[in-house]
Structure formats: structure tokens, C-alpha cells
Chains A and B, each alone.
Chain A
Amino acid sequence: MIRVRTTVNGRVREAEVEPRRLLADFLREDLGLRGTHLGCEHGICGACTILVDGEPARSCLMLAVQADGRALTTVEGLAPGDGELHPIQQAFHERHGLQCGFCTPGFLLTTHYLLARGEDLGSDEELRAALAGNLCRCTGYQNIVEAVRDAAARLSQGGLR
């Protein structure tokens, strides 16, 4: 067993893990943060996407031991408080950017990264390419694209938290 010490959503979190423990399972099973979803477990679906030191990464393709000393952001870290949504979450909610919700945590964090970079989202084709690492199997992508643009508009006023 190896001791892993990370900062998750601003809080220091530690656990003893087997080397083979995937980061996604570390979050879900060892830390009880079940917002990170596991779909394909081989890096295709993007549901498990989190931010590692501010950059998106597949938590199913990282070992927990590789996250030692890193700062992680999961979907639980987005909302400012109980009963309140992050502007990205609010935009997905209002624009019907989710249906079953399984892929949503990955989309929210990919979107957070895109908007945090502060670059123009470009054409719909470019935005869809930027979101292509996340698969949704129920809404289709139209409402997700609209939600990301809506979130960008909200954040250009309020700033990204």
C-alpha cells in the first residue's frame, strides 16, 4: 500500500492505496466523491474527466499514485454552496444540456477548462471538436453546445470561479 496525498477541491485528502488503484476509484471509493463517473474505463467516453493541476485528464487513465502531490478538481468542487449551482451547471440545467446526467460531470469539467482559458470558443464546428473527447448518448450535442455558449456568456460577466 502507498500513501497518496492530494488536494481535492481545495481540501487536502489522503488515503492508503494499492498501486493499481485508478484515480477515478480513489475519488469514488476511497474519498466517497461519487460525482466522477466511470463509463468505458479506457479513455474513450470522457465521463471521468477531472482537472489535474487545472488541466483536464481522464481519471480512469491515471493511477491514484500518479496524483500524489497534485491539485484535483472534481464536479463536487464546482458549486459554490448547497442549493446553488456554478454558472456552467446553471447553463447546462437551463439549456437542457443533460438528460440522464451520466456524462455531465465530464462535460462540466471540460467546459470549465475551455472557459478558464478565456479563448474564443470559435465556430460550432470548432467547439464540437473541443468537446469531442466527451460522449453523450442521450441529448445529442446541440443543447450541450448551446449550454457551453450560454455558460461562456454568463462567465464573461461574472468571471470564472
Chain B
Amino acid sequence: MKPPPFAYAAPASVEEALELLADPAHEDARPLAGGQSLVPLLNMRLARPSLLVDLDGLGLDALEWANGHVRIGAMVRQRALETDAAIAGRLPLLREAAAHVAHVAIRTRGTVGGSLAHADPAAELPAAMLALDARLVVRSAAGARTVAAPDFFAGPFTTAVGAGELLEAVEVPVPPARTGVAFVEAARVHGAFALAGVAALLRLDGGGRIEHARVALCGVAGTPRAPEWVGGALCGEPPDERLFAQVGERVRDELADSADEHRRALAGVLTRRALAAAAARAGGGS
């Protein structure tokens, strides 16, 4: 099918875009980022906005490194996360997660901000942002506010971005040395939506014991999930496959309310594998 009619605007500044999105004549206006989720919804006529506000010309496509973090503009393409040398060196979890997003021909257009603001429960980047303790920068005409990743994802396809607001960037802290990461997922075929995906981040102290650990999952609940007890279960312990398997089993058991048996089983196994891979990369063997 073809999209229903809509008006189109290509503003040149964030301020102008916010003005257009706040226009009372277009209460159902939608921002257009890379369009890789919105245009299918238009084609299937599941979305019928009266106005699309194209964000391509706002200059939100920069990666800026400063003060131990990177600020990723909302319009940075997913493909850039996959190919940028600094991301590969300092935030390899983002490179790995991005490589799982659909196919290259989607990632060249699809944006980081688009994926986060769309908040598909199966999407990889929201889970990666949870694992990395990212902060999302949301702007309105009144100014910018920062939202921690766990507070940003409110439900399936629902975020903390309110009326008259726009996701402008995401700030991701660069993990310190001796941090290992991994993103693993299971999908029916390469590039399909994840049945379950796990981002793991694990940091070792000088003695080789775990001093920080986080696991974030996608595809198994209405929002990405990062169980808070994981750090407590792992910190102070040396990396150990049996311990990781126990964490996986508890993750699996706690998903009884939100995921079917197959996805739960996958989540448990993928959690173990992701933690083991992260530990190996942190320098702790597995």
C-alpha cells in the first residue's frame, strides 16, 4: 500500500522543528528521522499523521566526544555506530548491537534516535543504552532535560518524550578499563526482529573479581529490561560460567509474566553466553 496524504516540512533548526511539532493545527504531527519504522507504518496506513517534520536538516548527526562520554546526535545513522572507528574502540557494545539491527540497507537510513524514540520492545539499541547507563537528551521550546535510560522507556512504543518534545541526542559514558561487553541475540533468520537479545557489561577489579555488572534484555517484555539484582549477584565474585548460568536461570524465571516459554529459555541461555563473552573480553577468561 501507499502512505495516506500528509503535509511535509523540512526545518533547518531544532527550534523550528519544535515549533512545527507544537503547531495546534497539526496535533498529530510526527517527526521523521530515518523512516525505517515510520514509513512502513505509513505504507500500511497504521499511522496517519497530518504533518511529517523531517529532522534530516537539523544538524543532529554528529558524534561528539567529551568528558568521558560520547554525545550521539539523534540523527546519527545506525550504520555509523557499526563503522565508526572511535565507537569500535571505546564503545564496542554499540557497534555490536547496531550490527544486529535489521540489514545494512536499513541501517544506512535508520537512526539511533529513531530507534530509541520508536521504542520497539524487540529493538537492540534501547537495551544497549540501558546496559551502558546512557542518558537521553529531550528538548522542548522551554529547554533540554536529561532522562536516564530506565526512565525513558515507559512501555511498548512509548517513551518519556512528551508533547512538544523531541529526542535530540543520547549521551553514553565510556566504560573504564577492564570492562568487557557483549551483545548476543537469537532471531529466526539473520536480520529479523530479535526473539530475545542480551547486552552484557562487566568490569573487573585489579584482582580479577567482578566490580560492576549489568545485563539488559530486549524482545522479552514491553520495554527493555535491566534486572537490578544482577550487579549484587555478581560483584565481588570471580568470573565463573556456573555463576553466569545461575544468573541466566534467574533472568529466565523472572520473565514469566512477560514472555513465552521459548523466549524465556532463550533469554536465560543468551544471558549466560553474553556474560561469559563479556568476562572474556574484560580479561577474566570465562
Residues of chain A whose beta carbon lies under 8 Å from any beta carbon of chain B: 2, 18-20, 22, 25, 41-43, 46, 49, 52, 55-58, 60-63, 65-66, 110, 113, 128-130, 132-133
Tally the A-B contacts, defined by beta carbons under 8 Å. Answer: 87
State which of B5, B56, B105 has its C-beta within 8 Å of the C-beta of A46.
B105
Which one of B10, B44, B104 lies within 8 Å of A133 (CB-CB)? Answer: B104
Q: Which residues of B contact A41 (CB under 8 A)?
A: 1-2, 43
Contact check, A22 vs B2: say whether CB atoms are below 8 A apart: yes
Task: Decide: A20 and B3 in contact? CB cutoff 8 A.
Answer: yes
B65 close to chain A: CB less than 8 A: no
What are 19 A-B pairs at a CB distance below 8 A? A2-B8, A20-B4, A20-B42, A22-B3, A22-B43, A41-B2, A42-B44, A43-B36, A52-B108, A57-B108, A58-B106, A61-B35, A61-B106, A113-B104, A129-B190, A129-B191, A133-B102, A133-B105, A133-B106
Query: With a CB–CB cut-off of 8 A, which chain A residues contact B133?
Result: none
CB distance from B100 to the nearest CB of A (A): 11
Give bound CA distance, A42 to B1, whole Å.
Answer: 9
Q: Which residue of chain B has its CB nearest to the CB of A113?
A: B104
Known: A52-B108, A62-B109. A132 touches B190 (CB 8 A): yes
New contact pairs (16) apart from A58-B36, A128-B190, CB-CB < 8 Å = A19-B6, A19-B52, A20-B3, A20-B5, A22-B3, A42-B40, A42-B44, A43-B40, A43-B102, A46-B103, A55-B108, A58-B105, A60-B39, A63-B35, A66-B35, A132-B191
- Chain B residues with Cβ below 8 Å from A129 are 190-191
> How many residues from B make CB contacts under 8 Å with A?
31
B7 within 8 A of A: yes
In-complex Cβ contact of B109 among A19, A20, A57 (8 A)? A57
Is B249 part of the contact surface with A, judged by Cβ < 8 Å?
A: no
B39: chain A residues within 8 A (beta carbon): 22, 43, 60-63
Chain B residue at smallest Cβ distance from A46: B105
Closest B residue, CB atoms, query A128: B190
Judged by a CB distance under 8 angstroms, whether B189 is at the interface is: yes
Contact with A along B36-57 (1 / 0, CB 8 A): 1001101110000000101010
The interface bits of chain B over 67-83 (1 if a CB of A lies within 8 angstroms of the residue's CB, else 0) are: 00000000000010000
Q: Which residue of B lies closest to A109 (CB)?
A: B105
Contact B2 A25 (CB under 8 A): yes
